[in-house]
A and B are shown apart, each in its own frame.
Chain A
């Protein structure tokens, strides 16, 4: 169907029969490229597209930014979590892995941001609950619900996106476009 459309388009543009194959080839290649990398439209789309995300992760790792790969992976896990219980465990992982000073995958955020996350944690007794899975389960069974705000890392995520954008987005776009040519 696509080919018929492309041929008709070439025809309507007044191209001769000898020019049509070349036109079809050029057109389909450029379209294929565009559709392959649709996610490159925005950072948000790149992060939420499986292929785009792989590209971005690889790029960040090459530029010694593995901590953001970890952060983004855990963030997406948190975002797609189905229950408070799941979020609770992931939040703990996030804080331990990416937000604790001195950890190998510590991200570059301000004291204020770190404190904000910790305050939310303290408010919801995450740490105390998650320290012990048995205790956590017991609390759930007793009906002591822990509500984990699904947006608790959103402001950190925005900051990380900004850091990536300020430092690497143009270079990343350029790399992807060069690769697609």
Chain B
């Protein structure tokens, strides 16, 4: 066959082979690290940190993008809080119904939505705490009419958000249930700092960038040069539909960085978020994390791959554990409702899922975006 090929074809073949060899050599030189974990565990936050510390940081265009995301997060979070308050108290949503626009009228859809979302049994007093006072009607209407992801924070918008967040007890009460309605913890930080982030000359700082929350989709990879080593880090989405794609990145992985949020033991997974009626003992993101971790460990290609377990949001867990016990996700836990024994139990539980003793497993903890080998 080779005899039939012309010299130029031979040369081209050799060049292609040389290129492939070169790529292979480059690939083996880099350590491939795969960031895995359930949705909202903090994989992309870790990725952003890596980029800021070991990469080239974030340029002005990226910062502009983060600014847009933060503004979007503020508007969407406040809209969600208002909508949930209105749903629980069965108040009509002001100003968003336009019957001329709806060929069928939205009444039936609204009825269906209400009947779907009010499975929760609450006493009158409990419901009353979510009742938004009449004086905030204008703010609610203004905010609900905005398309969240597109809005820049105008002066008027900042005023409305500020007044609702600081003066409306119903919004604060609903925010306490953020674990059930899918509002990120970091939204409180942005609400509290709304005047700063609403300024026209606002540029997000490192903390803002790290706290900005958006769902990662697909796969992003980046090379980091740390001392003499080259690390190729792959960041992926963590929601259920995204996890189907993971298997395509499993080839040649040096280590898996599995990220677990320590606070997610009472949080409803993104795909199941409905309303306050959600039962977090039946399904929560910690149970989902455990399942994902077990499934990942079982992959044939990972039998000899090292795992680094990152326990994220330890600082938030220190606060949460005072209010919510981990028995939501770990009903067999009998220890005290304190940070150290609870984290001990969770980490041991995760380690016990490894059924291959020769596989290397490391534990790391994140406090306020700082990595610790241990948490005491």
Contact = CB atoms under 8 A, between A and B. Distances in A.
A156 to B, nearest CB: 13
B272 interface: yes
B69 A166 contact: yes
Given A67-B241, A166-B69, A108 B116 contact: no
Given A119-B113, A147-B104, A108 B241 contact: yes
A167 B237 CA distance: 10
A68 B65 CA distance: 21
Interface stretch (B3-11, B28-36, B211-219, B308-316): B211-219
Interface string A62-97: 011101100000000000000000000000000000
Interface string B227-261: 00000000011011110110010000000000000
Nearest to B271: A111
A149 B62 contact: no
Given A110-B273, A162-B72, A119 B248 contact: no
B65 A169 contact: yes
| SS class, residues of chain A in contact with chain B | helix
Contact of A167 (B61, B220, B239): B220
Interface string A47-70: 000000000000010011101100
Nearest to B219: A64
Most buried by B among A67, A107, A158, A166: A166
Contact of A60 (B69, B218, B248): B218
25 contacts: A63-B220, A64-B219, A64-B236, A101-B241, A106-B241, A108-B215, A108-B239, A108-B241, A110-B271, A111-B272, A123-B104, A123-B108, A149-B102, A149-B103, A149-B104, A158-B149, A159-B149, A161-B149, A163-B217, A166-B69, A167-B214, A167-B216, A167-B217, A169-B65, A170-B62
Interface of B: 61-62, 65, 68-69, 72, 102-104, 108-109, 112-113, 116, 147, 149, 182, 214-220, 236-237, 239-242, 244-245, 248, 270-274
Interface of A: 60, 63-65, 67-68, 101, 104, 106-108, 110-112, 115-116, 119-120, 122-124, 147, 149, 158-159, 161-170
